[in-house]
Structure 1
Amino acid sequence: MRPVPDGTVLVNGIGAGVGKVGIAGTNMVFNQQIHALLPKRNLHISNYLMFCMIARRDEMLTLANLNTIPILNGERLGRLMLPIPDMSIQENIVTEINREGQFQRVISGKTARSISRLREYRAALITAAVTGKIDVGTYGIKGTTSATLDRIEEGMQA
């Protein structure tokens, strides 16, 4: 078992998750199947190293011994070349990646809510058609929606 401090970048070295990366959120202990990248003070930012390693996952998979169980040993992991710009540039990169990640999460949430509401609308539309509350023959012709559909649509927009 190996102890590492908070902020250590961790890389899975074996199995189906080989090359997956994370950051220790607290001081912790783990086994030899996890590789630890200890950021050097005044040289590396943990999140920057993590993002670099995530970007290199395909390369890590290539370096892994893929016979039966994928294994990425420390020597092979050490072959990866990572760009290490000044700390201020690393901070800017991390900030931008986090900003983009937040934007993607917001868009994903809005998309999921839209899909959910469209499914509700579809179900309401099918129910209205089956129960005869709308005339399927004229529905969809511009200007011929029924009051029921108008109410359903208004309810969906609320």
Structure 2
Amino acid sequence: SGNQQLTSIYPRAEVLDGRFLLHQLNARTDEMRRTAPASTLPILNNEFVKAFPVWVPSLRDQKRLTAAWEKRLDRQRRFRGILNRSIDLLTEYKSSLITSAVMGKLDVTTAGSNIPG
């Protein structure tokens, strides 16, 4: 469910870096949803967005913090990709083991003998 309202934010470049604002707002979405006026859904209208407090350090600090956030996000994306690939490989391996066991190609009486625990 939703409505057609669209609220845009255009930061003044001489005061607020757009990417810094983006990362700050993304990090605070739960807070925005909790504090927004709501009936069934939170309403992030112009009045709410204008009144929502944001941290505005110097532009130099904003750029430094944005670079650090983006470096961390890139690392997180890489790790997530590695983790998802590992999950896919383990799922494929599990399926292969089940198929081998069902087809009689695996001796299930000794299969777990080297597993600790």
Of 93, 96, 116, 1:121 maps to: 93
Of 83, 92, 111, 1:139 maps to: 111
AA in 1 matched with 2:45: N
AA in 2 matched with 1:53: L
Structure 2 unmatched ranges of 5 or more: none
Q: CA deviation at 1:138?
A: 0.8
Please give the alpha-carbon distance, in whole angstroms, between the structure 2 residues aligned to 1:83 and 1:136: 60
After superposing the two structures, state which structure 1 stretch, 103-112 or 64-73, moved more. 64-73
- Structure 1 80/126 Cα, relative in aligned 2: closer, same or farther at 3 Å? same
Percent of paired sites with the same residue: 33
1:70 matched residue in structure 2: 42
Please give the alpha-carbon distance, in whole angstroms, between the structure 2 residues aligned to 1:118 and 1:134: 18
2:81 matched residue in structure 1: 109
Does 1:47 pair with 2:19?
Answer: yes
- Structure 1 115/74 Cα, relative in aligned 2: closer, same or farther at 3 Å? same
CA contact (8 A) 2:19 2:66 kept: yes
Please give the alpha-carbon distance, in whole angstroms, between the structure 2 residues aligned to 1:64 and 1:137: 60
Q: CA deviation at 1:62?
A: 3.4
Does 1:57 pair with 2:55?
Answer: no
Of 10, 21, 37, 2:9 maps to: 37
Of 64, 85, 89, 1:92 maps to: 64
CA contact (8 A) 2:7 2:44 kept: no
- Structure 1 139/90 Cα, relative in aligned 2: closer, same or farther at 3 Å? same
Larger Rg: 1
CA-to-aligned-CA distance 1:72-93 (integer Å, 9 cap, x gap): 3322222211111111110111
Please give the alpha-carbon distance, in whole angstroms, between the structure 1 residues aligned to 2:83 and 2:49: 38
Higher RCO (CA 8 Å, separation ≥ 6 residues): 2
CA RMSD of aligned residues (A): 2.3
Larger helix proportion, structure 1 or 2?
2
Taking structure 2 as the reference length, the TM-score comes to 0.82
Q: Secondary structure at the match of 2:8?
A: strand
